[in-house]
Structure 1
Amino acid sequence: MRESPLLDPRIFSLAVARMVSALANSFLVVVLPLYIGSQAVRLPALTGSTVTVAGIRIAVSVELLIAIVLSLFGFLNSLSQPLTGSLSDRTGRRKPFLLFGLALVASGSAGYLIFTDYVLVLAMRGLQGIGAAFSIPISVALVNELSDPEERGNNFGLFNTFRLLGFGVGPLVAGVVVAGGPYVLTGKSISGFDAAFLVAVVGAAVSFALITLWISDPERAEETAGEDISIRVRGEHGGLDPVFALGIATIVMALSIALYAPLANVINERLNQGSFLYSIQFGATVFANVLFQLPLGRLSDTYGRRPFLIGGFILLLPTTLAQGLVTSSTGMIVARFLQGVAVAAVFAPSLALAGDLAREGASGSTLSLLTMGFGLGIAVGTLLSGLLVSFGFVVPFVVATAGGAIGLVLVITQVVEPDPDETVAAPAAD
């Protein structure tokens, strides 16, 4: 049996930095809706009225304004990642891009402390979306380049575990911080909202410090800068390029887990439950991800990536559909937990496989297809859920299950693993 890999302090530093950054961002996912809905933000004059766009009458509600702020981050973040990943590959630099992204995220959080106009709050969230587009694909590229091929799955599992810990803990802490305000800081009273924004600033600053102290640009990225970094759609032997196929599969996977968040009120009414049970159900997917990302990623180093990708998608289909059919709170918890296991089986091995297939010096542009796919799937899934539920509660879950079936077919027919002796994304020199 192969020995357990030793923990690389650089990978650990990236994982901790990503955890802190994810915690700070998830803070804002909870705080911004409350902040915008309070009297602290000056809303546009159109709020409460109806406007016509392309012949469609749309009510400009506070909820719509909140949705715009939240979705702007997701779309700017995900759609910009191939560009930022390619720029990093072309210059052969990782660390400056990562630090620049974290600086933008911190600036956006600090902006909430100053600006109280809705348009400026929207601009700050957009700034943070661009900052995340710089930091996320670059950090993933660094994990890839700092990993030995036989430890890549383990390292991506560790990285994702820490990211999910931050994302899962953030909303819980944010609620406590906002509710506990006002606070006294250096003799001045600050609201719970401002305290939460300060926590987000500190989180980005801590990530910035960790990267500054522990991470340097891999020599390999500098040596190969400027080589072919184009995104391939077609494979060498026909069909889709394996990484492009993985990107599509990642979109439908992320879409399936994003359906749940907008349906809180509908789900609670359907299952005759309160918000506490809903939070347990929502957290079950995150908890399963945290629990299984690392061991499944490590196992993929030993037994290959494709078995876990295929098994994960096979499990994803019934667990997604079940959420639209179950009529008990306990059944929903089980379905959500098993869905989290499915996502864990897919995400770390897919990142590792994309790293295995990445051309040397092109980790940023290659892996950005998957990180973009995840962010885009979350953004689209959130909007799709709210639109489709009006046709029946089960409809969003049926559509997501059909998308998952497409992902399964793509993995089976289009995704191949390279020969271990031909893995192209070799680790960077120490």
Structure 2
Amino acid sequence: MDTQPGGGASRGSFLARRGIGKDVAVLALARFFETVAAGVVVPILPLFLVGLSPGPFAGLPEETLTGIVFFAFGVAMTAGQYVFGRLADRAGRYKPGLLVGIGSFALLSLTYVRIESYVSLLGVRFLQGAALGLSISCIWAILVERSSETKRGASMGFYTSVQMLGLAAGPLLGGWVTELWGERAAFLAAAGLGGLTGLLMALLVRDVQASPARDRVVAENGTPASVFLYLATAVFTQVFAVTMIIAYFPYYAREFGARPGELAVVFSVLVLARFLFQYPFGVLSDRFGRKPFLVGGLVSMLPIMAGLAFAGSVRSLVLFRALQGAATAAVVASAYALAGDRSDPGRRASQLGIVGMGFTAGVTAGPLFAGLLVRLGRPVPFLLAAAAAAAVAVLVGVAVGESRGASVAVLPPSDTRVVQSTLRE
């Protein structure tokens, strides 16, 4: 039977005809359940923390408290991806990290039902962020090894689309369960889904084995970190602009009368749009290069953020969030595909961890930034984020070269000679 790279799927299968191997599909399924588990608590936490003892944080507005909670989670996940990614690269195995990460997340989810203080909530969120950082860095490394180089945009687009479907389903499930059975049931659902994810990973995910001799040679002449830093900057800016809306949830509940279920829709419509557009953009980036989607997605944030800044109803929020989702799909799919093209064997977890750090740093900084600056006026954080997106679009347009498949980003001459020498070898 004919096989596709990275998965053994038959050539005639539905996914294989679209460049998606069996292993990529399995990883996407596991990541789906992981993101559902992580997303269940998103619409709950901004309202849950209001009833907790504030301790040393007494006197801070709800928006700021919300931003700090997501900041703690994001800092731990950001650092965890790079630190744990380096450790996994050195160990030469990634599946154990997957299992430890998601298992720890599930166990920590059980502790929510006992939390009574804001400080305790911060501690649990920090540990959960670190656990997911470990899991994410390992799953990206396996994904790149199992995906076909010439179809990496399609593979990354498919994987991240399924991931976005999970992120959309998680908050919707959390809002629905909370309205029917309360917060305790939602927290238990997050723990149960985390356990299910761990079981799927243990049974279905195949590990990859490192080749120390080969990896040592590649590491000596590999891709410079600047390539991944450029991509991380683009991803950070996009996700930063997307996640700041979380800090506004108490405001929308108070001023728009938005219920938890409606807030879940505002959050989830973006990830649903990413689900629809990420795979097509990934396929197009395989054909036409990554740069048009990186730059175009960032530029499109200018009118979108202006619309969110002056939105006057839940309905208008949903509209502009859907447009945000399409723009984010363009940026993220192309950025991760290029990162996969340029990552080196034996260093994939740490190199992709740099781009992942951009993603989680954006998740971290967005709510905190909005929570701190909303006092200057509701539109101010949105408009500043729009200006940042425009600036980064110029930076990426100048610093990152065109790419087709596994082409090379524009680098300084000395770096370019090193990369070309490596490719010839």
Separation (CA, whole Å) in 1 of partners of 2:375 and 2:50 = 24
By how many angstroms is 1:114 displaced? 5.3
By how many angstroms is 1:6 displaced? 4.7
The answer as to 2:36 corresponding to 1:23 is yes
Q: How many residues align?
A: 393
Using a 3 Å threshold, how does the CA distance of structure 1 residues 222 and 204 change in structure 2: closer, same or farther? farther
Partner of 2:204: 214
Partner of 2:152: 152
Partner of 1:179: 179
By how many angstroms is 1:106 displaced? 1.5
Using a 3 Å threshold, how does the CA distance of structure 1 residues 114 and 224 change in structure 2: closer, same or farther? farther
Q: 1:347 aligns with which of 315, 332, 345?
A: 332
Partner of 1:254: 239
**Structure 2 runs not aligned, ≥5 long:** 1-15, 409-418, 420-425
By how many angstroms is 1:356 displaced? 0.5
Using a 3 Å threshold, how does the CA distance of structure 1 residues 376 and 292 change in structure 2: closer, same or farther? same
* Residues 67 and 370 in structure 2, CA contact (< 8 A), matched pair in contact too: no
Counterparts of 1:182-201 in structure 2, within 5 Å, are 192-201=182-191
Percent identity over the alignment is 32
* Residues 287 and 405 in structure 2, CA contact (< 8 A), matched pair in contact too: no
By how many angstroms is 1:296 displaced? 1.0
Q: What do residues 301-331 of structure 1 show as CA deviations (whole Å, max 9, x unaligned)?
A: 2222122212222222222233224557665
TM-score normalised by length of structure 2: 0.82
Partner of 2:77: 77
- Residue identity opposite 1:25 in structure 2: A
Separation (CA, whole Å) in 1 of partners of 2:102 and 2:314 = 39
Using a 3 Å threshold, how does the CA distance of structure 1 residues 244 and 209 change in structure 2: closer, same or farther? same
Q: What do residues 48-101 of structure 1 show as CA deviations (whole Å, max 9, x unaligned)?
A: 4xxxxxxxxxx2577765554332111111122211112212221111111111
The secondary structure found in structure 2 opposite 1:360 is coil
Partner of 1:384: 369
The answer as to 2:271 corresponding to 1:286 is yes
Separation (CA, whole Å) in 1 of partners of 2:265 and 2:115 = 35
Q: 2:383 aligns with which of 388, 392, 398?
A: 398
Q: What do residues 272-313 of structure 1 show as CA deviations (whole Å, max 9, x unaligned)?
A: 675577655444322211110111112212222122212222
Using a 3 Å threshold, how does the CA distance of structure 1 residues 113 and 420 change in structure 2: closer, same or farther? closer
Separation (CA, whole Å) in 2 of partners of 1:292 and 1:153 = 13
Q: 1:312 aligns with which of 297, 315, 323?
A: 297
Q: What do residues 11-41 of structure 1 show as CA deviations (whole Å, max 9, x unaligned)?
A: 1121111111111111122344444444xx6
Separation (CA, whole Å) in 2 of partners of 1:230 and 1:398 = 43
Separation (CA, whole Å) in 2 of partners of 1:334 and 1:299 = 25
Q: 1:11 aligns with which of 7, 16, 24?
A: 24
The answer as to 2:235 corresponding to 1:242 is no
Separation (CA, whole Å) in 2 of partners of 1:89 and 1:398 = 40
Q: What do residues 122-145 of structure 1 show as CA deviations (whole Å, max 9, x unaligned)?
A: 333222111011011221222111
RMSD: 3.1
The secondary structure found in structure 1 opposite 2:41 is helix
**Structure 1 runs not aligned, ≥5 long:** 49-58, 182-191, 425-430
Separation (CA, whole Å) in 1 of partners of 2:253 and 2:54 = 32
Separation (CA, whole Å) in 2 of partners of 1:422 and 1:63 = 44
Separation (CA, whole Å) in 2 of partners of 1:308 and 1:14 = 25
Write 1 or 2 for the structure with the bigger share of helix. 2
* Residues 305 and 385 in structure 2, CA contact (< 8 A), matched pair in contact too: yes
* Residues 242 and 416 in structure 1, CA contact (< 8 A), matched pair in contact too: no
Separation (CA, whole Å) in 1 of partners of 2:46 and 2:254 = 22
* Residues 93 and 221 in structure 1, CA contact (< 8 A), matched pair in contact too: no
Partner of 2:132: 132
* Residues 63 and 248 in structure 2, CA contact (< 8 A), matched pair in contact too: no
TM-score normalised by length of structure 1: 0.81
